[in-house]
Amino acid sequence: MSIPCHQLKRVGLKRDLDRHDRLVGLFNTNFFGPVNLTKAMLPHFRERKGGFIVYVSSQVGWQAEPGASSYCASKYALAGTLSAALFPTSETS
């Protein structure tokens, strides 16, 4: 399964941080969307005893970009979560 991590980006520090709804929108698109889809697929992978998920994201998951702190945070949140998720899953996760 391939999960394209679509980009929603707002540039500029004040514009980036001034509205809570923008921050929530970025995290809903760039973090919670891929996480929720992954959680939905795990039972199917367990049933089949295997599977692959490929995430396509952007470099700001590893390297920040000036003026886009919320966007970078949403991408880094996904990258950090996926790094931790590389450990084998159990039936309870």
Structure-block tokens of residue 85: 């998720």
Contact 33, 78 (CB under 8 A): no
- Separation CA 32–CA 27 (nearest Å): 6
Query: Catalytic site residues?
Result: 71
Residues whose CB falls within 8 Å of the CB of residue 46, separated by 6 or more in sequence, listed in order: 89, 91
Select from 60, 49, 66, 57 the least CA-distant residue to 29: 57
